[in-house]
Amino acid sequence: MLDRNPQYIGVFFVGVKTTSVFCIATCRARKPKKENVEFYSSFKEALVNGFRPCKVCKPTENASQAPSNAVMAIEMVKKNPKKKISDKILRKNGLNPYAIRRWFKKNYGMTFQAYQRMYRINNAFKELKDGNSPTSTAFDSGYESLSGFGYTYKKLIGKSPINSNERNIILIDRITTPLGPMFVCATVNGICLLEFTDRKMLETEFSDLQRRLNAVILSGENEHTKQLKKELEEYFQGKRKNFNVLLDTPGTSFQKGVWEILGEIPFGQTSTYQKQAIKLKNKNAVRAVARANGMNRVSIIIPCH
Ligand SMILES: [Zn+2]
C-alpha cells in the first residue's frame, strides 16, 4: 500500500477508519496511520464493514475494470446517494438491469440493489456519526421511493430533533462479531434492533422502528448497548447461552407473541413454523408466523434463523 504497487489492485482493500472510506493499493491520497486502517480481501467485505468507496482511487471502477454500463450504474448511485435506482430508471438510461445485476453479482458478490443499499446506509451512518444535520439523515429522507415509506423526517417532526423533547431517541452503533458486522439500536428501555449490516430488510426496519417508537435515530450507545456488547462477547466465547439484556420490541400483539415463543426455543435447538403456530394455539397461522419471524429485528437474541 505504501509503495502504491499496482500489482495489488483488487488483491486487498484498505478501510480508513478516520474517514470511513476504502481504497485500493494505488490510491494517491495521503497515507493513513497504520492504527487507523483495516485490511479486507474483498470489495464486499469493505462495504459491509461500513466503508464507502474512495473518491480518489475509485475502487468501484478500478478494482476490477468495470465495463461502461456498470460504470454508469455506479455513477448514478454516487450522484444520487439517497435515491433508489430501480430497474425502470436503469432502463430509462439505456442500461439493461439484468446485465448490471449479473456483473455486480459476479464481481462484488452482491446484487446492484444490495450495493445501493449498503452505499445509502453507510452514507447515512457516517453522516449521523459526524453529527451532520440529523434532520436530513435520520435514515429516512430521500427514501420516499421505497414502498411503504410515506414520510420524511421534516413531515414527522417539523423541527430539529435537538430541540425536540417529544420525540424518543434511538441510538445506533456498529459492532463486529465473529459472524460479521452488525448494527445495534437501543432506546432507554432496551435493545430494539440487532441486525447484520447487509440485511435486506434494514431500511424498512429503521423506518418502522422510528414510526412505532415515535423516535429519531442518532449515533451513539447507552447502557443497554454496552451490556449487549459484553453479553455477545461471552456468547461467542461459549460462556453464555441466554441473554439478560432488556429488549424494546414494538410490534403487533401477534408479532410479539411469535417473538416470545422464538425466545423460548432452548439454546442449540430448532423449531418449525408449524410448532410455533400450535404453541400460539392457532395451528392454521403457519404463514403468518413465518411472516412475523421475518419481521424480527433482534437477531441472535430472538433466534429466528
Ligand atoms: Zn483511495
Rg of the chain, C-alpha, whole Å: 21
| Residues facing residue 247 across a β-bridge | 191
Ligand 1 centroid – CA 27 distance (Å): 4
Q: What is the pLDDT of residue 156?
A: 37
Q: What is the pLDDT of residue 71?
A: 84
Q: What is the pLDDT of residue 305?
A: 64
Distances (CA, A) of 258 to 196, 199, 264, 268, 279: 21, 21, 10, 19, 9
Pairing of strands 190-196, 180-187: antiparallel
Q: What is the pLDDT of residue 116?
A: 86
- Which amino acids are annotated catalytic? 304
Ligand 1 centroid – CA 16 distance (Å): 9
Counting Cβ atoms within 10 Å, is residue 189 exposed (0-12), middle (13-18) or buried (19+)?
A: middle
Extract the C-alpha cell encoding 29.
491520497
pLDDT tens digits for range 204-236: 888 888 888 887 777 778 999 999 999 999 999
Ligand 1 centroid – CA 36 distance (Å): 14
Residues of the chain with pLDDT under 70: 63-65, 127-167, 305
pLDDT tens digits for range 98-126: 989 888 888 778 889 888 888 877 777 77
Ligand 1 centroid – CA 222 distance (Å): 34
Rounded Cα–Cα distance for residues 141 and 129 (Å): 17
